[in-house]
Amino acid sequence: MKVVYISPEVVPFAKTGGLADIAGAIPKYLQRLGIEMTVIMPFYNIIKKSQYHLTKTDIRFDVKIGDNHKSGNVYKGLLPDSTVPVYFLDNEQYYGRNGFYNHPGTTKDYEDNSERFIFLCQGALEVIEKLNICPDIIHCNDWQTGLVSVYLKTTYAKKECFRNTKTIMTIHNIAYQGLFWHWDMKLTGLDWSLFNWKQLEFYGKLNFLKGGLVFSDFITTVSKTYAKEIQTSEYGEGLDGVLRDRAEDLYGIINGIDYSIWNPETDKFIIANYGINNLAGKQVCKRALQKKLNFPERNIPVVGMITRLTDQKGLDLIVNRFQDLMKTDIQFVLLGTGEKRYHELFKTYAKTFPKKVAVKLNFDERSAHEIEAGSDIFLMPSRFEPCGLNQLYSLKYGTVPVVRCTGGLADTITDVRSEPILNGRYNGFSFKEYNSDLLLATIIRAIDLYKSKDPWIRLMTNGMSQDWSWERSAREYITLYETIVRRNI
Ligand code: ADP
């Protein structure tokens, strides 16, 4: 079976969030299980300037953006530790800049994002055709790839290469939909008749993700709970009706994590490796982290957080009760970038509580590993969380997650209270309602249990022994691919 996987970001080449981790991993695992995989993504500046071994192919392609022809070159590389080819679509005007979606250091979107991703969607189809892949499935990810299935079912419908091609749209976060003013319809080259409330229109705007949801043969998202949640008005961000219409073709598959990158036994970023049978290294990592952050080297819980600083991640709950949190005997470290107001707030906290609070307001892979390894507790009180990766990394690193019970957090974290103590599945702490009192009470429950050595170690090792690898998710995707290919629609 041939599958083309299109994603706006792929680890290690370009990453802003979890999607990149997934796109860098799942094609490798699918390939190992016998699927012929190809990955397509934009050739951003950061990749151009990098040391990756990429070669320029002789493929050139043209895409019509409105009345203009835009052309692109194609570079080729491999996903590390695999033979999966990655094709990078090169166009200096669209991708030759330092940000991916917004002006660097701001949350301001690039003004020409619709053009940039129309170019990706059509460009990917052009390149697939030129490579003569004729895929069984094109697997699209998030709004940036939403128009692929729209083109396939309209302007590309008669192309021989795509005669048997089915499409899957995976939603990694329904809060990001690719909304543009209606005149951008002209740039897509699609017929205006598609601009109606059942297809591409969304309250007067052009919605790329909606296009993907309406036109794809199948829709997946990254946890079973999130698949249900997004069909409700509370979580659906206005697309819940579309998803309810397509409920039969909507399925949740939880993400895995890449244990070749996120494993404390082999992690190259951390000062001491450790594992379930040798926990000493974790203590070394904790001490190193405390030292680095100028915290007193005490045996109190280090509470870590690594996150985009947006409302989604439950930061308002933390901010609401921060003063109370500071009355507990903990050390708190935050690594994140995002909204300016959170940058300011957390900077102030770090200044006010220098022995208890440290913040790093940048994107830093090494620090992420050091914090996972050196913390005792990991906080993820998300308002919504399609899957969440950090709680899974935390489990592997023996860093006990405290989460709000939503989306993938609900599917992966089992509260210590929720099962008889001898049943080994419990692995963290969770609370249900989005409420700062409950968050505080749950953190305090964790701090209390931390004081009892054996139950705490049991909790850590429960999490460390669980398997959240990609092999499991990859098998589910293959079953789904086979079902879709067999379906005659
Ligand atoms: P989301 O995709 O919503 O941002 P996930 O938990 O699914 O959330 O994935 C976030 C990914 O991005 C994780 O791999 C996490 O470690 C990483 N990450 C987030 N912020 C930072 C940061 N400031 N520095 C390094 N890694 C980060």
- Which tens digit of pLDDT belongs to each residue from 276-331? 999 999 999 999 999 999 999 999 999 999 999 999 999 999 999 999 999 999 99
Task: Select the more confidently predicted residue: 126 or 106.
Answer: 126
Q: How many CB atoms lie within 10 A of CB 188?
A: 28
Ligand 1 close to Cβ of residue 18 (< 6 A): yes
Q: How confident is the model at residue 488 (pLDDT cuts 50, 70, 90)?
A: low
CA-360 nearest atom, ligand 1: 23
| Joined tokens for residue 237 | 């961000």
Q: List the one residue out of 85, 25, 82 whose CA is nearest residue 54.
A: 85
Mean pLDDT throughout 222-229? 98
Strands 302-309 and 377-380: parallel
pLDDT at res. 341: 95
Q: What element of type H or E holds 409?
A: helix 407-412
pLDDT at res. 275: 98
Q: How confident is the model at residue 489 (pLDDT cuts 50, 70, 90)?
A: low
Ligand 1 close to Cβ of residue 311 (< 6 A): no
C-alpha span between 430 and 418 (Å, rounded): 10
C-alpha span between 185 and 85 (Å, rounded): 32
Percent residues over pLDDT 90 in the chain = 94
Ligand 1 close to Cβ of residue 99 (< 6 A): no
CA-389 nearest atom, ligand 1: 6
| Residue 420: pLDDT over 80 | no
Instruction: Name beta bridge partners: 71.
Output: 62
Structural domains present in the chain: 2-256+471-486 (3.40.50.2000), 280-467 (3.40.50.2000)
Q: What is the pTM for the complete model shown?
A: 0.92
What type of residue is 293? L
pLDDT at res. 422: 53
pLDDT at res. 421: 56
Q: How confident is the model at residue 368 (pLDDT cuts 50, 70, 90)?
A: very high
Ligand 1 close to Cβ of residue 31 (< 6 A): no
17: CA distance to ligand 1 center in Å?
5
Q: In what order do the strands lie in the sheet with 357-360?
A: 357-360, 331-338, 302-309, 377-380, 400-404, 429-431
Ligand 1 close to Cβ of residue 337 (< 6 A): yes
Q: What element of type H or E holds 171?
A: strand 166-171
pLDDT in tens, 385-414: 999 999 999 999 999 999 999 999 999 999
Apex 315 CA angle, 242 and 430, nearest 5: 80
Nearest CA to ligand 1 atom 19: 307
Ligand 1 close to Cβ of residue 17 (< 6 A): yes
Instruction: Name beta bridge partners: 378.
Output: 304, 401
